[in-house]
Amino acid sequence: MSIDFSAVTAQGLVKMFGPTRALSGVDLELSAGCVTVIEGPNGAGKSTLLEILSLLSRPTRGTLRFGPYDAWRDRQLLRGTLGVLAHAAMLYPELTGQENLTLFARMYGVPTARIGALGERFEATSFWERPVRTYSRGQLQRVALARALLHEPRLILLDEPSTGLDVRATERLVEAVVVERARGAIVVLVTHDAALTDKLADRRVRINRGRIEDQLA
């Protein structure tokens, strides 16, 4: 079953870890074709918010809707529409980059031609026949980015995507995000990279102590 949506709406999201309140009532609207940058100090709740948006963690309270779909109830259907880049690469070190991408392409039912296109977009084809364990941080990040965008996800969650990337690779990242935004993807970017924010942000959301402090369009 193919599903789609054009907005993500969070209302009153609260997340508790025991007595610790990681999110304290977050309201957020994310729209198609818009890059939202989430900023905030360490421990502000950014990663928790991304965990909830990526459907790996259930909010303690509040509602999260992907268009008409209830995010938690319909999570199995919605998973195919998510592309996530996290701190860890989520790749198998003993497989090559190309084998990793082929594996994920099969999971998402993506044609293999798409792998080549993304490999070229992130200039990964020169090293992707080596096992992932031999990659530099930047090479790892480029293949992880290709993995996150492989299936043309509707909602793209990028956590510090420029980590380890050189100037040229960062330019490729910016180009890729611009392409995804033009395609109509909903992009959420968590970054401390001010230059990246300046280039990509359509909207900036500042989060602190589990609350949204400020939103700038």
Partner 1 sequence: MNLAAAAWLVFRKDLRIELRTGEILITTGFFALLITILTSLSFYLDDVVARRIAPGVLWISIAFSGVLAMGRSFQRERDHDAMRGLLLSPLPRPGIYLGKALGIFAFLVLVELLLVPLLAVLYRVDLGAVLGQVALITLLGTLGFSAAGALFAAMGVRVRTKELVLSVVLFPLVSPALLAGVVATREVLGGASLSEVYDWLRVLTAFDLTFLVLGALLFGPLTSE
Binding site for partner 1 (CB under 8 A): 51, 54-58, 76-77, 79-80, 82, 84, 86-95, 99, 103-104, 106-109, 131-132, 140, 147
CA-to-CA dists, residue 119 to 49, 84, 114, 190, 208, angstroms: 29, 17, 9, 24, 37
Cβ partners under 8 Å of residue 135, min gap 6: 97, 127, 143
Alpha-carbon gap, residue 74 to 98, rounded angstroms: 31
Between residues 106 and 168, which has the closer beta carbon with respect to partner 1?
Answer: 106
Q: State the minimum distance, in angstroms, from the CB of residue 34 to partner 1.
A: 22
Between residues 94 and 120, which has the closer beta carbon with respect to partner 1?
Answer: 94
Between residues 107 and 179, which has the closer beta carbon with respect to partner 1?
Answer: 107
Q: State the minimum distance, in angstroms, from the CB of residue 171 to partner 1.
A: 25
Alpha-carbon gap, residue 91 to 88, rounded angstroms: 8
Amino acid at 186: I
Contact indicator for 105, 115 with CB cutoff of 8 Å: yes
Between residues 17 and 175, which has the closer beta carbon with respect to partner 1?
Answer: 17
Judged by DSSP in three states, 91 sits in: coil
Between residues 92 and 183, which has the closer beta carbon with respect to partner 1?
Answer: 92
End-to-end CA separation in angstroms for the chain: 35
Q: Quick one: residue 160, left, alpha or beta (phi over 0 = left, psi -120 to 50 = alpha)? A: left
Judged by DSSP in three states, 193 sits in: coil
Q: State the minimum distance, in angstroms, from the CB of residue 54 to partner 1.
A: 6
Q: State the minimum distance, in angstroms, from the CB of residue 89 to partner 1.
A: 5
Q: State the minimum distance, in angstroms, from the CB of residue 19 to partner 1.
A: 16
Q: State the minimum distance, in angstroms, from the CB of residue 10 to partner 1.
A: 17
Judged by DSSP in three states, 156 sits in: strand
Between residues 103 and 195, which has the closer beta carbon with respect to partner 1?
Answer: 103
